[in-house]
Amino acid sequence: MNLPSTLPAFNFSIAATAKEITKQFLVGVIYFIACIAAFWVGANLETVPESSAIFIPAGIKIAFYLLSPTRYWITLWISSRALAAHLGYTMTGVWEFNLLHGFWQELCFFALVYVFKHSRWPPSINNSLGILSLILLCVASTSIKWFLFSSAFEFTNILVAKELLQYQLNMCLGDITGSLLVAPFIMLLHSLNLSLKRPALLKVTNLTVTLATVLLVAMLVYLIRPDTYPLLRLASLLPIIWFSYRFGVLGAVSSATLINALIIVEASMTHQPSNTYISQLFILANAITSMVLGAAITELKRKNTELKKINRALTKQLNQNTLLGAKMVSVQENERKHLSQELHDELGQNLTALKTDLAILSHLCDEKTQSFVATLKSNANSMYDSVYQLMHYLRPRELDELGLQNAMTQGRLKSLLTKASIGYEVNFNVDDTLTKAHEIAVYRICQETVTNCIKHSNATKLIINIKTDSQFIKLEISDNGSEVKPTENSGHYGLAFIQERAIALGGSFKVTNQGGFSIKVKLPINIGR
């Protein structure tokens, strides 16, 4: 009964195993072919006997081990041993020695790459820390390799000390240049994820055309004036810096690979040991500079893109919040208007009728009830004034009837300040006609400020300046009174109301106390539109 359920799993296991073996085989073959090609190119670029300015297989080796999962390392090692045996048989006719030669070097290389790959900052070309880790790995692996190599000859007479040191230095520099130049280029090709979209294709096309132009110019100058080669080599860092700035790590690694290839070709043509060492130094400088600068610029561009995206999102959210705030203020004002109308129609009319009835009653009653009727009339008048003040606070009718300028210069605000013996001045410099939302916002702010001035300051003069430009309504209200401190209960809620209203409408609010108390409010001109 369980047999049908186990067979599919068994078939799946066989298929997965076959697939994994195929992948392992392909990786090994590709690595073998790449190393064979690298050795062939290196042999044709030989600058001094048994050496060159760059050892390409070193870069291929590091790149493959960094890019391949750990389970592929045994396959890569087997391919490298097969390659060593093949090269030994081809060059000397002996393959047995080369088959297992350098076992401890390989083991140390495995351990070093594993530690770097699984560290906090693994080698990479996409960020600055990854670049530094890659550079350190290339230098460390090469140094350990040739330290172990020299130790093997320490107690032999195959190479004398001077020859061994020179040989080790030459080969070590060749490995480092190969690692720092070839490995980043392979990692760059592996990391490319180009789409067929126009921006990506345009970027690659521009890079290719620019690189071809630089190549043609350099070759043309060298063919016309070969004696200018030292100057060209000295100036080789300049186009790398430009490519790094323009295209990031893609341009940096590509340009460094191209320019260093030209340096290597020229060094292979001269066959001078001194020129080889100089070329290696230039290759190292170009490779390291390109990687560090390219990664840094790529990071900056990526962070700049992220910041722009976040800024757009925040701007969108701010606009939404501003619209929501303006809508809430509008709804609040409509509710206040409705409540004010209800108070006027219901309570206001009833109080008016009550005052009329009490006036009639005062003429009909006798002297004994006159004092009682007078008290009722006083209470009714007080209630009427309170209701009138409440209706004005909820919705000033004079604003609807007279407009903002006349309401502020001739309305209740002026009468309240005059009654409190406070001088009043209003300056209007409004180019455009304000909407109703603008007028309500400005009047409410002025209303709260006047109330605070009367109740909580000892001012003798109040000045209101209102002006507009193409973007903002600028409102400045100042008096010559004392500051309303936030720690005091007096005036604190009024200022908070002004600040909340200004922020809700997408504006700003500022309070200063220099020679008087001043409030500056700036509102966007597009509110309510």
Q: What is the C-alpha to C-alpha distance for residues 33 and 467, in angstroms, rounded to an integer?
A: 78
- The phi and psi torsions of 46 (rounded to 5 degrees) equal -65, 125
Single-letter amino acid, residue 124: S
pTM for the model stands at 0.61
Q: Exposed (0-12), middle (13-18) or buried (19+): which is 447, by Cβ within 10 Å?
A: buried
Mean pLDDT, to the nearest integer, of 6-31?
A: 77
Q: What is the pLDDT of residue 1?
A: 43
Surface-to-core class of residue 185, CB atoms within 10 Å of its CB (0-12 exposed, 13-18 middle, 19+ buried):
buried
- Is the predicted pLDDT of residue 490 greater than 50, yes or no? no
pLDDT tier for residue 488 given thresholds of 50, 70 and 90: very low
- The stretch 375-384 carries a mean pLDDT of 75
166-181 b/e (C-beta count within 10 Å ≥ 16 → b): ebbebbbbbbbbbbbb
**What are the structural domain ranges in the chain?**
25-191, 401-524
pLDDT of residue 487: 42
Range among 119-123, 141-145, 412-416 with highest mean pLDDT value: 119-123
Residue 34 reports pLDDT greater than 60 = yes
List 427's β-bridge partners, or say none: 465
Using DSSP's 3-state secondary structure scheme, residue 477 falls into strand
Predicted confidence (pLDDT) per residue in 122-160, tens digit: 898 888 888 888 989 988 888 887 777 665 554 444 445
Is the pLDDT reported for residue 491 higher than 50?
Answer: no
Q: How far apart are CA 215 and CA 218, in angstroms?
A: 5
CA dihedral 397, 402, 403, 407 (to 10 degrees): -80
User: Residues 81-91: what's their mean pLDDT?
Assistant: 78
Lowest mean pLDDT among 118-132, 288-302, 372-386, 465-479: 372-386
% of the chain surpassing 90 pLDDT: 3
DSSP 204-246: HHHHHHHHHHHHHHHHHHHHH-GGGHHHHHHTTHHHHHHHHHH
C-alpha–C-alpha distance, residues 361 and 18, integer Å = 112
478 bridge partner residues:
463, 518
Q: Bin 423: left if φ > 0, else alpha if -120 < ψ < 50, else beta.
A: beta
CA angle 160, 164, 166 (to 5 degrees): 125
For residue 376, what are the contacts with CB-CB under 8 A and spacing of at least 6?
Answer: 358
Average pLDDT on 301-308 reads 88
Average pLDDT over residues 482-493: 50
Pair 478, 519: CB distance under 8 Å: yes
Residues 249 and 298: beta-carbon distance below 8 Å: yes
Q: Where are the alpha helices (DSSP H) in 69-160?
A: 73-91, 96-100, 103-117, 128-152
pLDDT value, residue 125: 84
| CATH topology classification for 401-524 | Heat Shock Protein 90 (3.30.565)
pLDDT at 30 (0 to 100): 92
**Predicted confidence band of residue 109 (pLDDT cuts 50, 70, 90):** confident
- Burial bucket for residue 393 (CB in 10 Å: 0-12, 13-18, 19+): middle
Q: Which pair of tokens denotes residue 343? A: 């108070």
User: Which carries the bigger pLDDT value, residue 81 or residue 331?
Assistant: 81
pLDDT at 82 over 70: yes
Residues 291, 184: contact at Cβ < 8 Å? Answer: yes
Amino acid identity for residue 261 in this structure: A
* Mean pLDDT lowest among 39-53, 137-151, 511-525: 39-53
The predicted structure's pLDDT at residue 48: 58
424 strand-pairing partners: 462
How far is 18 from 186, CA to CA, in rounded Å?
Answer: 28
Res 154: pLDDT: 47
**pLDDT (average), residues 342-370:** 69
Candidate from 80-84, 116-120, 464-468 with smallest mean pLDDT = 80-84
Q: What is the pLDDT of residue 337?
A: 65
Between 346-355, 483-492, 493-502, the lowest mean confidence (pLDDT) is in 483-492
Label each residue of 257-308 as H, E or C: HHHHHHHHHHHHHHCCHHHHHHHHHHHHHHHHHHHHHHHHHHHHHHHHHHHH
State the average pLDDT for the chain. Answer: 77
Please determine, for residue 162, whether its predicted confidence score (pLDDT) is greater than 90.
no
Q: Which of 16-30, 82-96, 197-211, 514-528 has the lowest mean pLDDT?
A: 82-96
pLDDT exceeds 90 at position 340: no
Residues 6+ apart with CB under 8 A from 410: 402
Tell whether the model's pLDDT for residue 390 goes beyond 80. no
**Residue 326 · residue 437 · CB < 8 Å:** yes
User: How many C-beta atoms surround the C-beta of residue 145 within 10 A?
Assistant: 20
- Confidence at residue 26, expressed as pLDDT on a 0 to 100 scale: 93
Q: Which of 142, 123, 116 is nearest to 58 (CA)?
A: 142
pLDDT in tens, 170-213: 777 888 888 888 888 888 888 876 555 667 677 778 888 888 88
Compare 492 and 247 and report the one with higher pLDDT: 247
